[in-house]
Amino acid sequence: MNQSVSSLPEKDIQYQLHPYTNARLHQELGPLIIERGEGIYVYDDQGKGYIEAMAGLWSAALGFSNQRLIKAAEQQFNTLPFYHLFSHKSHRPSIELAEKLIEMAPVPMSKVFFTNSGSEANDTVVKMVWYLNNALGKPAKKKFISRVNGYHGITVASASLTGLPGNQRGFDLPLPGFLHVGCPHHYRFALAGESEEHFADRLAVELEQKILAEGPETIAAFIGEPLMGAGGVIVPPRTYWEKIQKVCRKYDILVIADEVICGFGRTGQMFGSQTFGIQPDIMVLSKQLSSSYQPIAAILINAPVFEGIADQSQALGALGHGFTGSGHPVATAVALENLKIIEEESLVEHAAQMGQLLRSGLQHFIDHPLVGEIRGCGLIAAVELVGDRVSKAPYQALGTLGRYMAGRAQEHGMITRAMGDAVAFCPPLIVNEQEVGMIVERFARALDDTTQWVG
């Protein structure tokens, strides 16, 4: 039975519960229905086009409707549309992608474990580390440390790692054993006159004090995004990761790099770990791994982590963990083609160049009365709006300016995202110089509207 397009908003309200959405407000406003995408643009059901300045959810590296990715999926559907990796089974695309990721890794890694999302991957990492420390005879070494404003997912375990109140309020989270230390945002949390290096010193001391207070024998791992994404595009202060890693190594604590947003060129190098000098024991990858054309994530573990897990699996008879879609043949085939395109078209280098243009364009607004900070790295940036530039206080309630600005940007044909009052930019890696100029121009229009609204 055919449905008229005009009935879709009502049906959406009637039948769908949306993630990251105020369900009651959605009943009033209804959805923006996206019908198709091409390049860096998406188009709604009325034919209006939008620059997708967030690459969807930080993820569509190659933009929309890339024909090589579509063909890779089609070919795999026609060959082996599904198979699993349980109990010694495997297939060519998953094997080749695992090999490729180990070859690409910025530090020596041993094995790849596939999941369907970054949340599932971080949930799996928690279980793997618990499993590992049981195997090593360290049953008390189970606690995880992450950061306030960090984002690591929304399963029960990964949301406990996350340090954003909106992902924990109402859910009885975080669980016990998940600890949080300070956010490395110099603009917001440095003391008056404190340099980035001294701020990093203070954060490292805070981490060490937390470890000593809890007992080093109870702390299993420290997890962090090389650059924080959903927490507001927070670029770590100079020397931060060097000092944090030194503390972790001192107390035999694993370092986990959550590269879900940073990986595959977003920070101007292939991995955020390279950009910020991280040498992780475990890496978590997703999003740009397949440009989100297929749901997939990958966990990379080094040799010591693998050996402990392997010994435990032998002692217990099997590694009792996995997903039906782990290493799905279509998802791994698409991811392989996606990585080939990123390399063949030198998109990491291109992203670094376009990111410089974007930040340069945004920098023109640094003296605007509503702009507190402009920050970014590679092809990811944010403009933090404030009600008062001196006190850095928000206008009315936190998030008021950000929500209004994002709404006005959408009216002007650009989809962005407000995280509190930080308006983020994370366009597809394929964005060109002209399109970067259009992003800045549409931001300027939305900022003008917001300025008039504030009065």
Confidence tier at 327 by pLDDT (50, 70, 90): very high
5 pLDDT exceeds 60?
no
pLDDT at site 14? 94
Q: Can you read off the two tokens belonging to residue 124? A: 């799996």
DSSP 4-56: -GGGHHHHHHHH---TTS-HHHHHHH----EEEEEBTEEEETTS-EEEETTHH
User: Residue 299: what pLDDT?
Assistant: 98
Q: Which residue carries 């060109």 as its tokens?
A: 432
Query: What pLDDT, on a 0 to 100 scale, did the predictor assign at position 163?
Result: 98
Q: Shortest CA distance to 184 belongs to which of 240, 249, 246?
A: 240
Over residues 407-428, the pLDDT tens digits come to 999 999 999 999 999 999 999 9
Query: Which whole number is the average pLDDT over 184-212?
Result: 98
Tell me what pLDDT residue 4 has.
52
- What would the CATH number be for the domain defined by 6-64+345-452? 3.90.1150.10
Residue of 44, 268, 251 whose CA lies nearest to 143: 251
Does residue 25 carry a pLDDT above 80?
yes
Residue 3 has pLDDT above 60, yes or no: no
Phi then psi dihedrals of residue 151, to 5 deg: -130, 125
- Where does the chain hold its CATH 3.90.1150.10 domain(s)? 6-64+345-452
Mean pLDDT of 26-41: 97
Closest by CA to 227, choosing from 179, 263, 262, 200, is 262
CB 85 within 8 A of CB 326: yes
For residues 45-70, average pLDDT: 98
Strand partners, 42: 37, 50
As a whole number, mean pLDDT of residues 432-443 equals 98
Q: How many Cα neighbours within 13 Å face the side chain of 229?
A: 27
Q: What is the mean pLDDT of residues 239-268?
A: 98
The pLDDT value given to residue 6:
63
Which stretch of DSSP H or E encloses residue 181?
strand 178-181
Q: Determine if residue 104 is left, alpha or beta; phi over 0 gives left, psi from -120 to 50 gives alpha, anything else beta.
A: alpha
Question: 142 and 133 in contact (C-beta within 8 Å)?
Answer: yes
pLDDT of residue 433: 98
> Is the pLDDT reported for residue 161 higher than 60?
yes
d(CA 112, CA 13): 40
Report, as an integer, the average pLDDT of 152-173.
Answer: 97
Comma-separated ranges of CATH 3.40.640.10 domains in the chain: 67-342
Which range among 5-14, 205-214, 247-256, 280-289 shows the weakest confidence by mean pLDDT? 5-14
Please count the other Cβ atoms lying within 10 Å of the Cβ belonging to residue 186. 21
> Average of pLDDT values for 383-388?
98
11: tokens are: 């049906």
Alpha helix segments (H runs only) across 181-263: 186-189, 196-214, 240-250
- Amino acid at site 144: F
Confidence bin at 322 (pLDDT 50/70/90):
very high
Nearest 5°: CA angle at 162, between 120 and 427?
80
Question: Both tokens of residue 398?
Answer: 């936190």
**67-342 has CATH 3.40.640.10 classification:** yes
Report how far Cα 423 is from the mean position of its chain's Cα atoms.
15
- Mean local confidence (pLDDT), 308-335: 97
> What is the rounded average pLDDT of the residues 230-250?
98
The per-residue pLDDT for 7 is: 87
151 CB-near residues (< 8 Å, 6+ apart): 162, 163, 164, 167, 225, 228, 229, 230, 231
Residue-level pLDDT at 210:
98
Which one has a higher pLDDT value, 196 or 2? Answer: 196
